[in-house]
Amino acid sequence: MSFLRSIRGKRPDPSQPDEFLVKAYQDGGDLQALADLYERYMDLVYGLCVRYLEDPELSRDAVMGIFEVLVRDVAKYPVQHFKSWLYRVTRNYCLMQLRSGGKGKIVEFGADFVYSEENPHLNGGEEEETFLRLEKCLEALPAEQRQVVVLFYKENKCYQEIGALTGQEWNKVRSHIQNGRRNLKICMGERTHVQKGVR
């Protein structure tokens, strides 16, 4: 990708671990380190974009756009497993592109809510299928449950903040979160059984 050539002054050192390059960017704003890190996974990012966007030109644009997201976000968030984190950034970016002229918005749940970060694989299909099932189940929730679940898990709002935003009492907020989470787990289980042919 030519846009990284303008950033890179020398060939990246493949012996440096991902964590070293992440820290170099987070601590000192070393854009070279971030570019070197991204280059390691650019082909995989491009492949994932093609799967979602089904257009090589749009996918090349997405690869550049995702790097801009990294420039903004890597310094702001704790990134422990860069490859797994980059997978979610790429997936969400592509889904946002697909929905940019239509309905809905991307919902990013914590890894502990959806799946474990152990054994991450950028070009694997299980995380993608899980995320797509989760979105369908989220859309099926009653509106009040869906609203508070999104605020709680995506926006990291506490019960009091959600109550202030929605005009609901604390107990009602807690009830919606508990019921919404239970309904999502039930829905996710049902969809898994259907996919495996149990139902």
Domains, the chain, with CATH or none: 1-105 (1.10.1740.10), 125-199 (1.10.10.10)
Give the confidence band of 45 by pLDDT, cuts at 50, 70, 90: very high
> Higher model confidence: residue 89 or residue 133?
89
User: How wide is the angle at C-alpha 106 spanned by C-alphas 104 and 93, nearest 5°?
Assistant: 120
* Residue 183 structure tokens: 């309904």
Rounded Cα distance, 38 and 114, in Å:
25
Total Cβ atoms within 10 A of residue 110: 9
Average pLDDT over residues 69-98: 88
CA pair distance 131, 110, nearest whole angstrom: 11
pTM value > 0.75: no
Alpha helices by DSSP H, 54-169: 56-73, 82-99, 111-114, 126-140, 143-153, 159-166
Residue located via tokens 């309905």: 103
Give the per-residue pLDDT at 128. 59
User: Are residues 66 and 122 in contact, defined by beta-carbon separation less than 8 angstroms?
Assistant: no
